[in-house]
Amino acid sequence: MKVRVHTFGMSLDGFSAGTNQDLQHPLGVRGEEMMQWFFPTRMFRKTVLHLEGGETGVDNAMAERGFENLGAWILGRNMFGPVRGPWPDESWKGWWGEEPPYHVPVFVLTHHARKPLEMKGGTVFHFVTDGIESALAQAKAAAKGRDVRIGGGVSTVRQYLEARLIDEMHLAVSPVMLGTGEALFRDLDVSALGYASDESVAGERATHFFVRRR
């Protein structure tokens, strides 16, 4: 079992989300630019859009690796949706429609309790209010020996990195400059935390780096 981050976009100047995330800008203003490598892939079209076709090159192969041997996911509250503070109701069910792309248990970090949400295709969202370690313990139990994927966003990945709980990260670096936003490695000494980049692969629209815990 591994705890891993995968298909995590990053701009050339180190940002993994833009500013002002909201309903119109799930990845923040201009944030989608760093994910342009992913959108044309067959994997994206199949898992997110439920469509046929798509590109089948290196970028797609990298995206496919992200879904191998997965037993559970962990998401930050912002990755689940733009709702802030206490849940006003239970009408928001995520960005993905009735059939999210996960198909396994998903543990959402939040400060505000909410009952589990069962969706079409096997995805069940569980809302965890007692921290990252609790979410990881629950995810590992649900994964039953398979990998746990930390889906993001930036704050969530940073917390797990600082706690040295991530085994492997796949960063897809796109040749765009956002100028501002949320920087994954800001003020983090990743080397001192025990991580090193030991694999890189050039794709069609991004360069793929794998960072692993030593």
- The pLDDT tens digits of the residues spanning 166-176 come to 999 999 999 99
Q: If we measure between CA atoms, which residue out of 117, 103, 104, 107 comes closest to residue 139?
A: 107
Burial environment of residue 75 by CB neighbours within 10 A (0 to 12, 13 to 18, 19 or more): buried
pLDDT in tens, 3-21: 999 999 999 999 999 999 8
pLDDT at 45 over 90: yes
Confidence of residue 56 (pLDDT cuts 50, 70, 90): very high
Instruction: Kindly report whether the global pTM for this prediction surpasses the value 0.85.
Output: yes
- The residue whose two tokens read 């067959």 is 42
Predicted pLDDT of residue 47:
93
- Say which CATH topology domain 3-18+32-81+100-193 has: Dihydrofolate Reductase, subunit A (3.40.430)
Amino acid identity, residue 91? S
In this structure, are residues 183 and 19 in contact, taking their beta carbons and an 8 Å threshold? no
pLDDT at 23 over 90: no
pLDDT at 158 over 90: yes
In this structure, are residues 6 and 152 in contact, taking their beta carbons and an 8 Å threshold? no
User: Residue 85: which H helix or E strand, with range?
Assistant: none
What is the residue extent of each domain of the chain? 3-18+32-81+100-193
